[in-house]
Amino acid sequence: MAEKVQNAIPLSELAPGSKAKVLTLFAEGMVRRRLLDLGVVPQTIIECIRRSPIGDPTAYRIRGTTIGLRRDDAKQIMVEPLVE
Amino acid sequence: MSCMCIEKRTELLHHKFGIAALAGQKVVALAGNPNTGKSTVFNALTGLNQHTGNWPGKTVGNAQGTFTHKGQPFLLVDLPGTYSLLPNSADEQVARDFICFGQPDVTLVVVDATAMERNLNLALQVMEITDQVVLCVNLMDEAKRKGIEIDIEGLSKKLGIPVVATAARQKQGLEELRDCLLDVACGNITPVPFTLRYSQEVEQAISELEPKLTPLLKGTMKARWVALRLLDGDDTLLEDIERYMTEEALQDPSLSREREVSPSWPQA
Amino acid sequence: MAASIERGDIHRLHAIARQVREENTEAVRDVIVEKIYQHSQTIADEVTSRTNQNKVNQDDRLDAILTSRYLGFPIMLVLLGIVFWITIAGANVPSSLLADGFGWLEGKLTAVFMWVGAPAWLHGVLVLGLYRGVSWVISVMLPPMAIFFPLFALLEDAGYLPRVAFNLDRLFRKAGGHGKQSLTMAMGFGCNAAGIISCRIIESPRERMIAILTNNFVPCNGRWPTLILLSSLFMVGAVGMGASVTVAALIVVGMVLFGIAMTLFVSWALSKTLLRGVPSHFTLELPPYRPPQFGRTIVRSVYDKTLFVLKRAIITAAPAGVITWILANIMVGDKSVLTHVADWFAPFAHAIGLDGYILMAFLLGLPANEIVVPILIMGYMASGAMMELDDMGALKALFLDHGWTWLTALNMMLFSLLHYPCGTTIYTIAKETKSTKWTVLSVLMPLAIAIVVCFVVAQTVRYFGWV
């Protein structure tokens, strides 16, 4: 990622109901490949849907499918929140 | 793949994949993302003519079913539902191995009409491995309810393969799907899948690798696809070629059956 | 087209691969995956057109209720309770009809044996042993199975089960497990062997092993008829019919919750000791909710699961019935072999709140849990006065005759919930783990837990003089 993005946050910080664009994946190994398979690649728009009853994991809409991700995994995805 | 000696393939299917195909049966591999109604399509096509088993050496279940259409018997092999064919788990490896080495007459990819973007990813990956692909856009009823319309003909043109719209729960589009499988399996229709071009660097590397690979692979699989896998560092492919494609492996059924790929457990 | 590649060419392929690896970095895979997804998106955008964009997603609305902070857990419990309630209430009538039918047929069979002048032992082995064992299993098991499996299949079909994993992941993770473990447990309610096979959905070997070793703590279909029977007989006071079903269902739910608590505790203990390690990642698709296909789902679950499990139960019930009858009727001195063994077990059994016959029944019931109660009844009937078991009252009288109290019932329920897995399940564990060590542990660990829990309960209850 060459360009600097000012308001980059980890996906885990994204509030339910808001959307963001994927910038970088810090995850490595198995988790990285799993996320790539699910379509978490740069430029992908991810919407945070809701948190589970006890706060973790969180449901995200990724390419038309709702996927639950744990905080620890979502932390490794840097995103740029989109303002609507 | 249709010119591969039938007996040899029957043996390969039996020894390497634990699948008993009868002479004259056309083999269809059924691939798709999880939750696309793939098993509904499987059930709708085969009814109660099914039995389940295990992929040899892997802790992944498989289901096979049969049906006959216009006098042509088919064997339908239900692959595990996966998001991709890059072998990250036993499920994905089984799906990839069968499409690549099981030499099915047709690979039917079931996609969810409400999540095309995610689902086409798998279809594109399958199209890189084999030309014999049919796309089934399922859950058309659900898409309609959600106000989604899909240009089936346009999709077929863009991909270069036959596309059939179905609502398997409502038993809609199944006859057309059977016709289509028959046409592709018997060579009445020859799909010409569109080739996805990557970045210049990747294409450069592919064009260097392809001529080196082509003579070695002897037409058993697409050199372009093997080149891509070597480039993305997929180490399992060469092992698998050795397992499925060498003469020794074909002679010795034990070679793959005995090999355990299940993860090693921690020691107590 | 040639079907094989020569060995020399394989070496050449490896050489090419090595070269490629030296020249390229990890990043190529990212580039390739990115490109494929980009292209999927382009095609999808070109061929899809959407109307009524603004419509709120129905699934999100449902999720807002089913996975909500306040309602998520209560709804899960209520659904579990409803499934049990329907199963228990619905199974009563067909169960007694089947029992009546088998009883009638037994009379006819006995008449035939008398008519041909068959010896008493032959009638005993075949009718009182084999036939009764099999007919008990069918009349007790078939109705709840034929109701439970389809109900669960409907929940699965509707897309609810992944929400359970979503709701519970954090809990399981704290115990060192994985949210998907809850799905393997749900499968275990039907059959633990099926539950253990379903552990394959957990990718990480460590968490999968935890799920395999603890699956036994959810009562399978072979055990919860025992739980239902004992809770209806001993735990329910003199209340009306409708209420007693509810109380029985509540007690069974309580037992299930205790089993789940034990699962979490043992998972935690294993993850701190034998299976140490960091919990792996969790990705779980929450598929769209879909109206379940009642007809097809019910037919398929009856066809695939119910008949399969029933067949297995009958195959094990037949020999167990024969063996039990023989043991109960071969006399050594003035007592049968069964009584001798039961007497030998008695002191230990008493310490853990059971009796010798119960332990004997669990031992002989190793092939399948559903035959434990039939074996017990056969053992009691052979040792006591022979009687006709025509209703629940008679059954309770039989148990009371042998010194049962509510403590006996409670501890038999606990022992049934916690003890070693059945033969089929042990075999499945051995096949899935490919390890003798882990298989042995999967038998000894729950057995030890069952003994300790029953001992503590029995001693506590007796100390306070509650029985």
Are A39 and B115 within 8 A, CB to CB?
no
Decide if C105 is inside a domain.
Answer: yes
Q: What is the pLDDT of residue C51?
A: 80
Q: Three-state DSSP class for A69? A: strand
pLDDT higher than threshold 50 for residue C385: no
Q: Is C141 left (phi over 0), alpha (psi -120 to 50) or beta?
A: alpha
User: How confident is residue B79, by pLDDT bands cut at 50, 70 and 90?
Assistant: very high
Are C34 and A52 within 8 A, CB to CB?
no
User: Sign (positive/negative) of CA torsion C381, C387, C388, C392?
Assistant: negative
What is the rounded average pLDDT of the residues C432-456? 95
Q: What is the pLDDT of residue C16?
A: 85
Question: Which residues does chain C have within 8 Å of residue B43's beta carbon, measured at their own beta carbons?
Answer: 296, 300
Higher-pLDDT residue of C255 and A1 is: C255
| Interface-testing mutation among B33, B111, B218, B243, with chain C (most C C-beta atoms within 10 A) | B218
| Interface-testing mutation among B11, B216, B229, B267, with chain C (most C C-beta atoms within 10 A) | B216
**Closest chain B residue to C35 measured between Cα atoms?**
B198
**Closest chain B residue to C438 measured between Cα atoms?**
B268
Question: Which residues does chain B have within 8 Å of residue A39's beta carbon, measured at their own beta carbons?
Answer: 83, 117-118, 121
| Interface-testing mutation among B49, B52, B59, with chain C (most C C-beta atoms within 10 A) | B59
What is the rounded average pLDDT of the residues C197-203? 83
> Which H, E and C letters describe chain B, residue by residue?
CCCCCHHHHHHHHHHHHCCCCCCCCEEEEEEECCCCCHHHHHHHHHCCCEEEEECCCCCCEEEEEEEEECCEEEEEEECCCCCCCCCCCHHHHHHHHHHHHCCCCEEEEEEECCCHHHHHHHHHHHHHHCCCEEEEEECHHHHHHCCEEECHHHHHHHHCCCEEECEHHHCECHHHHHHHHHHHHCCCCCCCCCCCCCCHHHHHHHHHHHHHHHHHHCCCCCHHHHHHHHHCCCCHHHHHHHHHHEHHHHHCCHHHHCCCCCCCCCCC
- Determine the Cα–Cα distance for residues A52 and A58; give it in Å rounded to an integer: 6
Question: Which residues does chain B have within 8 Å of residue C433's beta carbon, measured at their own beta carbons?
Answer: 265
- Determine the Cα–Cα distance for residues A9 and C233; give it in Å rounded to an integer: 60
In CATH terms, the fold of domain A9-82 is: SH3 type barrels. (2.30.30)
Q: Does A64 touch chain B (CB under 8 A)?
A: yes
pLDDT higher than threshold 90 for residue B172: yes
Decide if C451 is inside a domain.
Answer: yes
Q: What is the pLDDT of residue C391?
A: 67
Mean of the per-residue pLDDT values of chain C: 85
Q: What is the pLDDT of residue C136?
A: 78
Q: Does A16 touch chain C (CB under 8 A)?
A: no
pLDDT higher than threshold 90 for residue B218: no
Q: Does A15 touch chain B (CB under 8 A)?
A: no
Percent of chain C, pLDDT > 90? 35
- Determine the Cα–Cα distance for residues C85 and C77; give it in Å rounded to an integer: 12
The 8 Å CB, 24+ separation contacts for A21-25 are A21/A45, A21/A46, A21/A79, A21/A80, A21/A82, A22/A46, A22/A77, A22/A78, A22/A79, A23/A78, A23/A79, A23/A80, A24/A77, A24/A78, A25/A76, A25/A77, A25/A78, A25/C30
Q: Three-state DSSP class for A49? A: strand
Q: Between B8, B35, B90, which is nearest C3 by CB?
A: B8
pLDDT higher than threshold 50 for residue C197: yes
What is the rounded average pLDDT of the residues B180-200? 94
Q: Does A29 touch chain B (CB under 8 A)?
A: no
Question: Which residues does chain A have within 8 Å of residue B117's beta carbon, measured at their own beta carbons?
Answer: 39, 63-64
Q: Does A66 touch chain C (CB under 8 A)?
A: yes
Q: What is the pLDDT of residue A8?
A: 92
The Cβ-side half-sphere exposure at A58, using a 13 Å CA radius, reads 23
Higher-pLDDT residue of C357 and C6 is: C357
Higher-pLDDT residue of C363 and C51 is: C363
Q: What is the pLDDT of residue C383?
A: 56
Q: What is the pLDDT of residue C444?
A: 97
Give whole-number Cα distances, C396 to C101, C380, C392, C409, in Å: 21, 12, 6, 11
**Closest chain C residue to B245 measured between Cα atoms?**
C4
Range of the domain at C183: 73-276+296-464
**Closest chain C residue to B116 measured between Cα atoms?**
C44
Q: What is the pLDDT of residue C239?
A: 46
pLDDT higher than threshold 50 for residue C160: yes
- Determine the Cα–Cα distance for residues C335 and C383; give it in Å rounded to an integer: 8
Q: Between B83, B112, B116, which is nearest A37 by CB?
A: B83
Q: What is the pLDDT of residue B90?
A: 79
Of A56-60, B88-92, B132-136, the range with the lowest mean pLDDT is: B88-92
Of C19-28, C324-333, C339-348, the range with the lowest mean pLDDT is: C19-28
CA distance C124 to chain A (A): 58
**Closest chain C residue to A58 measured between Cα atoms?**
C166
Question: Which residues does chain C have within 8 Å of residue A56's beta carbon, measured at their own beta carbons?
Answer: 169-170, 173
Q: What is the pLDDT of residue C465?
A: 87
Q: What is the pLDDT of residue C317?
A: 78
8 Å CB contact between B159 and C43: yes
Q: Does A19 touch chain C (CB under 8 A)?
A: no
Q: What is the pLDDT of residue C386?
A: 43
CA distance A67 to chain C (A): 4
Phi first, then psi, for residue A9 (nearest 5°) are: -135, 160
Residues 6 or more apart from C326 whose CB is under 8 A from it?
A: C125, C129
8 Å CB contact between B137 and B164: yes
Are A39 and B88 within 8 A, CB to CB?
no
What is the rounded average pLDDT of the residues C83-108? 85
What is the rounded average pLDDT of the residues C5-23? 80
Question: Of the segments C59-68, C82-91, C378-387, which one has the largest average pLDDT value?
Answer: C59-68
pLDDT higher than threshold 60 for residue C156: yes
Question: Which residues does chain C have within 8 Å of residue A37's beta carbon, measured at their own beta carbons?
Answer: 33
Residues 6 or more apart from C254 whose CB is under 8 A from it?
A: none
Are C274 and B266 within 8 A, CB to CB?
yes
User: How confident is residue C414, by pLDDT bands cut at 50, 70 and 90?
Assistant: very high
Are B124 and C29 within 8 A, CB to CB?
no
- Determine the Cα–Cα distance for residues B85 and B93; give it in Å rounded to an integer: 7
Q: What is the pLDDT of residue C415?
A: 97
Higher-pLDDT residue of B253 and C378 is: C378
Q: What is the pLDDT of residue B18?
A: 80
CA distance B216 to chain C (A): 5
pLDDT higher than threshold 90 for residue B106: yes
Q: Between B12, B147, B241, which is nearest C52 by CB?
A: B147
User: Sign (positive/negative) of CA torsion C41, C44, C46, C52?
Assistant: negative
Question: Which residues does chain C have within 8 Å of residue A38's beta carbon, measured at their own beta carbons?
Answer: 283
Closest by Cα among C452, C415, C433, C451 to C274: C433
CA distance B121 to chain A (A): 9
Decide if C46 is inside a domain.
Answer: no
Q: What is the pLDDT of residue A3?
A: 52
Which residue ranges make up each domain of chain A?
9-82
Q: Does A63 touch chain B (CB under 8 A)?
A: yes
pLDDT tens digit sequence for B24-55: 899 999 999 988 889 899 989 998 777 777 77
| Interface-testing mutation among C48, C202, C286, with chain B (most B C-beta atoms within 10 A) | C48
What is the rounded average pLDDT of the residues C94-102? 87
Mean of the per-residue pLDDT values of chain B: 85
pLDDT higher than threshold 90 for residue C349: yes
pLDDT higher than threshold 80 for residue B154: yes
Task: Count how many domains chain C has.
Answer: 1
Name the H helices within C48-160: 58-66, 72-115, 120-123, 132-158
Of B193-202, C30-39, C294-303, the range with the lowest mean pLDDT is: C294-303
Q: What is the pLDDT of residue C26?
A: 62
Q: What is the pLDDT of residue C303?
A: 76
Q: What is the pLDDT of residue C467?
A: 78
Of B194-203, C149-158, C294-303, C420-429, the range with the lowest mean pLDDT is: C294-303
pLDDT tens digit sequence for B108-119: 999 999 989 899
Question: Which residues does chain C have within 8 Å of residue B229's beta carbon, measured at their own beta carbons?
Answer: none
| Interface-testing mutation among C32, C281, C289, C290, with chain A (most A C-beta atoms within 10 A) | C281
User: How confident is residue B268, by pLDDT bands cut at 50, 70 and 90?
Assistant: very low
pLDDT tens digit sequence for C232-281: 888 765 444 556 777 877 888 899 999 999 999 999 999 999 988 776 77
pLDDT higher than threshold 90 for residue B133: yes
**Closest chain B residue to C7 measured between Cα atoms?**
B246
Are B3 and C35 within 8 A, CB to CB?
no
pLDDT higher than threshold 50 for residue B244: yes
Q: What is the pLDDT of residue B250?
A: 64
Q: Between A30, A38, A64, which is nearest B83 by CB?
A: A38
Interface chains of chain C (3 or more CB pairs under 8 Å): A, B
pLDDT higher than threshold 90 for residue B164: yes
Higher-pLDDT residue of B143 and C5 is: B143
User: How confident is residue B128, by pLDDT bands cut at 50, 70 and 90?
Assistant: very high
DSSP state of C5: B
User: How confident is residue C435, by pLDDT bands cut at 50, 70 and 90?
Assistant: very high
Q: What is the pLDDT of residue B17?
A: 83
Q: What is the pLDDT of residue C18?
A: 81
What is the rounded average pLDDT of the residues C138-146? 80
What is the rounded average pLDDT of the residues B186-190? 94
Residue C11 CA, chain-centre distance (Å), reads 50
Interface chains of chain B (3 or more CB pairs under 8 Å): A, C
